[in-house]
Homo-oligomer: A and B are copies of this chain.
Amino acid sequence: MPVAQGTTIDPARTRAAILEAATAILYERGIDGIGVAGLCTRIGVSKETLYRHFGSKDGLVQAVLESRSERLSGWLAEAVAAAGDDPADQLAAVFNALGEWYDRPGFRGCAMVNAAAQHHDEAVLAATERHLNRYLDLLTGIAARAGAVDPAGLGQQLLILVEGATVVAAHHGTAGAAAQARDAALVLLAASA
């Protein structure tokens, strides 16, 4: 039996569709910025269906954050992989990719950080920490390949630049934040060997 077939009733597909639509809507409006009823209307699904798949609004939020974190960090990892062998090029690729993201219409900062900023429950905070750890792993890897004396420390500094650029781009103006963070990152990288 194939995993899924056609355009028919298929719980897995329904779940995925809810997840994708909810990701966009909750990012746009904020987690507390729309109720479950309005969410279901915009998704085009009944409340019963949503609750059967995700149990609660918090459950949906959790799934949304996790999927978004994986997609985002995976996207950055691809940018690094496509940048060749030079760690400096890889690092520049990270910030160039971020710059693309910042310039996309509807950019509102990091969804995980936004969620953690005002939604204090355990699960959201844990998801945000996992997300930042994914970033940190990527950046520490670049630092290590560049032969930094303190790859862990440099990785943390690069993480600070990534998150800082995202916050500044979201709340102070997109223009140049990614490029400025990239230039700063390259200076730090060069100075750390």
Contacts and interface: CB of A to CB of B under 8 A. Distances in A.
Interface of A: 29-33, 109, 112-120, 125, 128-129, 132-133, 136, 153, 156-157, 159-165, 167-168, 170-173, 176-177, 180-181, 183-184, 187-188, 191
A115 to B, nearest CB: 8
Contact of A164 (B115, B125, B164): B164
Contacts of A162: 164
Given A161-B164, A163-B164, A191-B191, A153 B132 contact: no
B163 A31 contact: no
* This chain: copies in complex: 2
Given A113-B167, A117-B109, A118-B33, A157 B172 contact: no
24 contacts: A29-B120, A30-B118, A30-B119, A31-B118, A32-B32, A109-B117, A112-B171, A113-B117, A113-B167, A113-B171, A129-B173, A132-B172, A153-B176, A156-B177, A157-B184, A159-B168, A160-B165, A160-B180, A160-B184, A161-B184, A164-B164, A164-B167, A187-B191, A188-B188
Contacts of A168: 132, 156, 159-160, 163
A133 B170 CA distance: 14
| 6 pairs of A and B residues whose beta carbons are closest in the complex | A164-B164, A160-B164, A30-B118, A114-B117, A117-B117, A132-B172
